[in-house]
Amino acid sequence: MALSDSVTTCLSPPVHYVICKLGFEKKDTYDINNILSENGEVCWQAVTEHVCYLESDQSVDYIKSIRSLGPVCESVHLYFKSLTKEQFVIQYALWFRWTNYTELFLEVFDVLQCTQTTEVALGLMKLTSCLERALGDVYLLIGKDCPFLLRDLLASEQLAIVFGQAVMNVLRVFIGSPYGLNLRNVLWHGFASPQEIPAKYCAMLLFLTAGLGQLLQTYLLQIKCVLVHRPYVIFISLEELDVFPDLSDETLSIAEELVKLSSFVLKTMLPFWMAALTAFKQSRYADCVILLLPQLEAGLRLLFTTTNKCPKRLLTAEPSALYTTFDEMLAKHLDNEEVNKLPAVLEEPAMEFLWDFFNHQEGPRIRDRLSHGEIDPKAFPREVANQIVAFAITLLCRFSDEDKFAFKEHMVIKPLMNCASSYRSRFHPISRLKKQVLECMKSIQLWPELPTVPEEHIQTIKGLEGNAEASTLILMISEIISQLQQYMPQNCISADDPVNSGLTERLLIELCDMHICTLYSPRRVLEILVLLRKISTQCHQVSEQVIASVELRYQQWMDKSLRSRQRHNYLRMLNSIKFLSPVLWLILVLITLEVVNVHLVCKKPPFDYQQYLKFLKSVLQYTENLVTYTSPEKNKWDETMELTNQALIKIRKISDRKLMLMQLAS
């Protein structure tokens, strides 16, 4: 029997007791009229008196509080079940406005009327993430930087000022403290199965959210202020997230079969998987992903604990110990410094995908953003849900015991497996740098197409020198490129014309296509990448400025609207472009050759490493100065010559001393 069949719960005995039993121990029936005024407002005093405190230090006694609040939650649940939707809307819709998502709370009311356990869990997950976002907005009425963790947010003095400390303590019993019910974390991290979350806690959080709306209204009237909601995060450039083909109904039907067979799925969690696939079919994309992410985490945790032989870590730990979450499972080492065996089992492409979609700062960070309420669930893109579901299907297939071969070879599954096995990181700094280099390259390629003034116009202007200096600089660039040719792919070199931009384009494309390991990049590598990316950004800025200036000045020249000094300046600019284009190409080649060999930076002795850093910083300084000098405000074209001359001397010196990474490689 597979481990996924034998596991009956992922809640450790104490956590299971707190969530599933503790709040049911007191059998008293509690009168709803004790906590509801005649006009339906929450009598907070009657709720907060159920929170118990430890005698030793007056901190919340979570065990006693949950036991005491149990009958209150029961009473609220029964009360909501007795209302019609219309009664609920009339009485409460107004009090949910502060959350910026009233309809979600009305949906949760509907969920409480049904018996589907997956719906209650989904409702709670959406409710807690929306509540967290709204509480963050309230925090910003007083505080500056909103805490990232719900736990810290609920414990903040800013929220205690608005709602009162006693009210915040009630919330902490339900969410945000590992000592309480901790409903948000237990659900979002994939520890709770559908039947383990009592619906009465969902009802209570719905009730408390309305009560918070009432308190907030009073506070806002006092301070004569309005609550401003932060805008939602919007996924830009969705094409970057496009990995897998669009999922057909046939693929989803096979996925439903796979879910039942795969050892990646804990049998107690099966309803969540089926509900996620159903949500996708019904175009409820946020619901699909909210249901699926915790299950990906639960499945990976099962793999993690099996491969690292630490079965106890499958369970939620006690508050005193960390439980195993994504961050730990994707880490290089376990907490005892031993190597984590999960990355080797998942293999590099799957690890890259997980890091890209969930961890990298510049990636979509879907899990963080959804769970903290930063994304509008109403506008969640199908494209993103498609990627997560497709990736999940490949894991189901890879870790299924039954006739895996038949599934893997199925005509609709095979393309998914191929995409998964060839995945390369898109959001690691190395990948971002490659993208920047190619974008900058496309910009510089527009230069030869720029309009230029007819030669005879230039003859009429006296005292314009400088062609010789431009030629000297171009010669110097050619020499440096010739020196570096031994480190380049041989099919991208020409002895006759080393500065040929067509050759350079082929070289850059070929280098950027090389696979460079991105997992667990050491600190030195990341430091170098920061500098290389800054240099690349400045080069792109120079190129864009040159294009804009040339087009504008040409137009003004043809319109005869340039004064004499401006005409001189325009010609200086045209002269400077002759060497600026090759020098930018040279820098792009340097950056790309260095990034291909970036891991060798770890082999440099400390002194050489410092010298190398100093060199990169000087190249960065040069490109920053170029941005300034080529800006429309400054227009200092003669100065760019002197600057470039000094920069090229430095590059040649470093090349002679063989301090570059490409030289280490050979």
d(CA 265, CA 258): 9
pLDDT at 461: 55
pLDDT at 495: 59
DSSP string, 87-122: HHHHHHGGGGGGGT-HHHHHHHHHHHHS--HHHHHH
Q: Coil, strand or helix: which one is 36? A: strand
Query: Which residue type does 658 have?
Result: K
| Cβ neighbours, 10 Å, residue 258 | 25
Query: Which residue type does 663 have?
Result: Q
Give the residues across from 143 on adjacent strands: none
Kindly report the CA angle at 116 between 13 and 47, in degrees rounded to 5?
65
d(CA 122, CA 139): 26
Residues whose CB is less than 8 angstroms from the CB of residue 526 and which lie 6 or more positions away in sequence, other chains included: 429
d(CA 165, CA 62): 15
Token representation of residue 401: 């015991």
Percent of the chain that is helix, strand, coil (3-state, to 5):
70, 0, 30
d(CA 538, CA 524): 22
pLDDT at 259: 94
| Cβ neighbours, 10 Å, residue 410 | 17
404: burial class by Cβ within 10 Å (0-12, 13-18, 19+)? Answer: middle
pLDDT at 613: 97
DSSP 8-state symbol, 194: G
Residues whose CB is less than 8 angstroms from the CB of residue 215 and which lie 6 or more positions away in sequence, other chains included: 44, 162, 163, 164, 167
How far, in whole angstroms, is CA 30 from its chain's centroid? 45
DSSP 8-state symbol, 264: T
pLDDT at 237: 86
pLDDT at 326: 86
Residue range 329-346, pLDDT digits in tens: 999 999 889 999 999 999
pLDDT at 187: 97
d(CA 86, CA 81): 12
- For the chain, list residues with pLDDT below 50: 462-463
Q: Coil, strand or helix: which one is 339? A: strand
Question: Which of 12, 28, 51 has the alpha carbon at shortest distance from 173?
Answer: 51
Token representation of residue 294: 């915790």
